[in-house]
Amino acid sequence: MKIKKIIAFNNKRIIVKVLQGFSFILLFLAISIPIAFALKNPAYVYCTELGYNNIVNETSRGSVDYCQFPDGSSADAWDFLKGKVAQEFSYCKKEGYGIKTVQDSVICQRLFTEECAVCILSNGTEVEVTQLMNLSLKEGVCGDGGCTIGETYLNCPQDCTSGGLDGVCDGVKDGICDPDCVRLRTPEQDTDCLVSTTTTTTPGGKPSRTIYIYLVFVGIIIAIIIFFLYKIRVVG
């Protein structure tokens, strides 16, 4: 009987330590999520700052940003930002620097990704491209000319156009099928979607998908914590 009590006590200590670890992870997520979602879409900013057109195509993968270049060609905007395609149009090449793609969470921390492009300067120094360009990726304010996270056509028409990918199906009859109506599976709310699946130019894009990943991850962690709490109660 005494041995069973000792085992139960040790099990409680282990479970408590595990719960402490999960609590730290939840705290980290609570801090990092607001930071991540206070950013503009880096791929969009990079493409447009170089003077190219950002277009959003509806594909089987959902809404995908493409950067369109002067010669009429285009490439996935995020792959372009990461230096994986169309390097001849990159900032690094335009400035006469070398360019390569690196996998380093520290170097790429501005983008919250594991992979990014770096420019190789004449002295061999490698600098992440948006950092070298001194691009501002922080969320803007209504009226600054950029439709950023938190802004929609409904709350900031000065920056966000109708039919743009801003997280809201605005349903405005403007000859453009709002990609948000398609993404949210409510195309009937936009009469333009009933006759067209028009490609639109807009500052939306992939970062919104990250929200769902975080929510699923947090949900799993919470479920595990509840399970361990139940186990503690049973052992007790």
Ramachandran region, residue 105 (left: φ > 0; alpha: ψ -120 to 50; beta: rest): alpha
Please tell me the predicted confidence (pLDDT) of residue 33.
43
Best CA proximity match to 188, nearest among 177, 198, 174: 177
Residue 8 maps to a domain: yes
pLDDT value for 22: 56
Q: What is the pLDDT of residue 128?
A: 95
Residue 142 placed within a domain: no
**DSSP 8-class letter at 136:** -
Q: Hey, how many other C-beta atoms are within 10 angstroms of the C-beta on 148?
A: 24
Domain count of the chain?
2
Residue 47 contacts residue 203 (beta carbons within 8 Å): no
Domain finish residue from 80, 112, 137: 137
* CA separation for the pair 157, 73 (Å, rounded): 30
Range of the domain at 216: 2-37+210-235
Residue 178 is classified by DSSP as -
Report phi then psi at 70, rounded to 5: -55, -30
pLDDT at 10: 58
Mean pLDDT by 10 residues, the chain (236 residues): 53 59 52 48 90 86 87 94 96 96 91 91 94 79 69 82 76 82 76 60 42 70 78 62
The answer to whether the CB of 52 falls within 8 A of the CB of 193 is: no
pLDDT of residue 134: 85
> What's the pLDDT at 174?
83
* 28 and 57 in a common domain: no
Domain check: are 117 and 98 in the same one?
A: yes
Number of residues assigned to the chain: 236
218: in domain: yes
- What pLDDT does 226 receive? 81
59 in the same domain as 16: no
**Has residue 12 been placed in a domain?**
yes
